[in-house]
Amino acid sequence: MRLDINRNETLPVYMQIANRIKEQILSGILPAGFVLPPERKMADDHAVSRTTVIRAYEELKALGLVASHRGKGTVVTERKVPESHGNDQKVFPLSWYPLFDKKIANVSDTVSELMHAGNHNDVISLAAGIGDPNLYPISTLQQIQRESPLESDQLNLSPVEGLYSLRESISRLMTGRNLSVSAKEVMILAGSMQGIDFAARALLSPGDAVIVEEPTFLQAIQCFRAAGAKIIGIPIDREGIRLDVLEAQLARYKPKFIYTIPAYHNPTGVVMSIERRKGLLDLAYRYQVPILEDDPYGDISFAQERLPPLKALDPYGYVIYLSTFSKVLFPGLRIGWTIAPEPVMRKFALLKQIADLHVNTPGQFLVDQFLRKGYYEAHLRRTSLDYQKKRDVMAKALTQAKGLIHFEIPDGGFYLWCRIPYQISQKELLALCSDQGVIYTPGNVFYPQESDGEHWLRLNFTYESMDRLERGLSIFINAVKKLNKQSSQTDLETGSRPIV
C-alpha cells in the first residue's frame, strides 16, 4: 500500500502514516481482517525508519483500529458500530490539529520519538540524555527509607518554593560550585526544564527575540518556539559563545534574555572559558540583558579544575541560575532548582502554583536526606569515574574510524559532538543504524534552523552498559564506513569531483 506523506508538513511522519491508514479503515477501503504490510516493508516503501512505522501502528492499536496477531502480523479489527435509532446524529471523528495554537503546532516531538525508540530493549541508544541506570543509587535510597520511615508531613503539601530543609541542603551544595546563597534564595523545580519554561512564560511574548548558543539544547529551542519567540543563534567555538558575533546581535535584536550552557555544553561538551564568562557578563551589563544559565552537567566533571558558574561571577543580579539532580542521580526524580533575583523568584512562584503547586513532597524529603547524610559526593565520584571510562572507550573507537568521524574529547558531561563526511546523507545513516538497532541524535535538531547541522550528530556515552556501548559503536562506525564507500564509488562512476 502507498500512502501520501508530506515531509514539509509540521505533523510528524508517524502521525501522517497513522492518519492515512485510519482514514482508509473508517471509509471501508481497508476491511476487517486486512493485514497491514510488515513494519520493515512499510518503512522501505515510504523511505522512513522502522521505528516510525512501529509508532504509527501503535497509534492505530491505541484507537482499537488494528491488532497484532502472532504469525499473522498487524490486522484491521472488526468495527462494532452501535445500532442506529433513527434520530441519532452521525458524529464524525474530531480533527484536533486545526484547533491547536500555531505556536504549538510548529513544535516537533523529536524528544518523545527518541525516548520511545530508546525504550525498546533491543535498541542500543546512543541518543539518550540520561545516565547509566545500573548506577542509580537504589540501595542507598532504600536504606534512607528504612532509616526514615514515611511520616504524615512527608505526604502533605509542600511550600510552593519547596521544602526549606532541601533548600538548605542545596545552598550548602552550591558552595562546592563557588556560589554562596541562602536557603531563601533557592526554589525547587520539577527539573531544570521547568525553569526554562518558567523563564519563557515570564519573559517572552510572541515576536520577542531570545539569544541561544548554536547549537544548543533542543528542548530549550522547542520551549522558546512554543512561546512564539524569535530565536537568534550565536555560534560557539572551543571557548564558548562567540562574543564578537553576540555583541552585534545584542545591538540589533535587543533580546529578552541570553540562554547559555557554560559547563559541558549540550550537545558539544564545550566548557566556556573564564575570559568568555567575564566577557559575556560585561555584554549583558552593557546592553542590560539578563542571562538564563542552565547547569545540568556541571558536577559531572573529569577534570581537576572546575570553573565557577556565571551566577557566582555576577554581583549585579543579572543571572537566573538553573540546575537539576536528573543527570547525577536519575532522570525520573524530576527535582531541580533555580537561584534568581527576587522579582524573578516571585514570578516563578506564581507560575509554579499555576503549573503543579509544588514538587512532590516525598521526593524532596528523600533527596534532602541523600544530601544531608553525605551520599551525594560519593555517588558523584563513582558515576564520574564510570562515565570517564565510557567516554574513553567511545573516543578510542571513533578514532579508529580512519578519520571519518571528527570530534573533540570533552572533560565532562554526557556527549561527544561528531562531524561526519559531507558526502554522507544523515537520513541514510539514521535509517541504516536504526535498521540494525542503533539510534543517535542527528545534529540538525540542536539548531534553531534545522537546515543547519546536517553533518553533525550527538553520541551519548553514559547510558548503555559497556558491552552494549561497544556493540552500538561498532554498528555506527561500520554504517559510516559503508555509506562513505558507496559515496566514493558513486563519485568515481559519475566522474564528479569535490568543489574546493
Which tens digit of pLDDT belongs to each residue from 154-178? 888 899 999 999 999 999 999 999 9
Which residues of the chain have a pLDDT value below 70?
79-90, 92, 97-98, 102-121, 490-500
What residue numbers bound the domain in which 438 lies?
Answer: 110-134+378-488
Residue 160 in any domain: the answer is yes
423 in helix, strand or coil?
coil
Residue 105 in any domain: the answer is no
* Euclidean distance between CA atoms 366 and 130, whole angstroms: 20
DSSP 188: E
Together in a domain, 294 and 278: yes
Q: Quote the number of domains for the chain.
A: 3
Together in a domain, 167 and 294: yes
Positive/negative CA dihedral, 483, 484, 488, 494: positive
Helices (H), strands (E): how many in the chain?
16, 16
Distances (CA, A) of 484 to 1, 407, 496: 32, 17, 15
pLDDT value for 398: 97
Map grid coordinates 533580546 to a residue: 255
Together in a domain, 346 and 409: no
pLDDT value for 497: 47
Together in a domain, 7 and 57: yes
CB neighbour list of residue 229: distance below 8 Å, 6 or more residues apart: 200, 204, 206, 207, 208, 209, 210, 256
pLDDT value for 80: 55
Judge residue 500's burial from the number of C-beta atoms within 10 Å of its C-beta, 0-12 exposed, 13-18 middle, 19 or more buried: exposed
Together in a domain, 269 and 321: yes
CB neighbour list of residue 227: distance below 8 Å, 6 or more residues apart: 103, 200, 201, 204, 205, 206, 208
Together in a domain, 55 and 115: no
Q: What CATH number is given to the structural domain containing 159?
A: 3.40.640.10
pLDDT value for 70: 80
